Amino acid sequence: MFDPLARLKSYFSEMKARGDNTHICLTTLSPDGFPNSRFVDLKGITDWSLLFGTDQRSIKAQEFFAVNRVSACLWWEAIGIQVRMKGSVRRGSDELSDRTFAERNRVAKAIASLSIQSQELKDEHGLRAGISEYLSDTGRTTERPPTWFVFEILPMEIEILEFKEDRFHARTLYRPADNGWRTTRLNP
């Protein structure tokens, strides 16, 4: 049996080594049932999940807290890979969240610390001034805000499509089975 997450880890490593972005399109469901999609930075892949970070007060977090069904899609053109998946989300540990937040650059840390992601911006000047002050304090150690976490996408279905020049793409669907994943080859 093939492990799709092991394949994704390999592709992820290849993209990182190339210096390419590793964004994925994450879709949640709003309370009125409409899909909401946005790109998030894929932080890593474990043996069971895909990792991204966000503030738990963000719209996406509120949506997966309310309806824990998500889908994600990535298109890594540089290596000819498309991946679609669906599953659920859970909040990662404090340790994982601390470690991931520590890897962010200072600007990303400042914005995450001073902004409530995706909420109405009432005072842009004040927010910019706060970020400037934050960044000018070079001795400042940055703790992870108590509302910022790594979240894990727990896939229940993964489809990997490897593009081929002859258009006979290798398309494989993976679904959980008793001791791993059941694979189904799909038409290109």
pLDDT tens sequence across 134-145: 888 877 777 899
Residue 136 belongs to some domain of the structure: no
Q: Provide the CATH number for the domain around residue 24.
A: 2.30.110.10
In a domain, 115, yes or no: no
pLDDT of residue 17: 93
Which parts of the chain have pLDDT scores under 70?
Answer: 1
| Residue 156 maps to a domain | yes
Query: Is the separation of the CB atoms in 25 and 72 below 8 Å?
Result: yes
| Domain of residue 15, residue span | 4-102+145-186
- How many CA atoms within 13 Å lie on the side-chain side of 153? 31
In a domain? residue 135: no
What integer pLDDT is reported at residue 111 of this predicted model?
86
- Look at residues 96, 74, 79, 92 and name the one whose alpha carbon lies nearest to residue 23: 74
Query: Does residue 92 form part of some domain?
Result: yes
- Whether residue 174 is contained in a domain is answered as yes
The predicted pLDDT at position 1 comes to 54
- 4: three-class secondary structure by DSSP: helix
Inside any domain, residue 111 = no
Question: For residue 18, which of 79, 109, 99 has the smallest C-alpha distance?
Answer: 79
Report the candidate in 166, 163, 169 with the shortest Cα–Cα distance to residue 186: 169
How many CB atoms sit inside 10 A of residue 76's CB? 19
User: How many structural domains does the chain have?
Assistant: 1
SS3 66: helix
The encoded tokens of residue 131 equal 């970020």
Amino acid occupying residue 121: L
Cβ-proximal residues to 102 (8 Å cutoff; 6+ apart), any chain: 142, 144
Q: Is residue 74 part of a domain?
A: yes
pTM summary value? 0.88
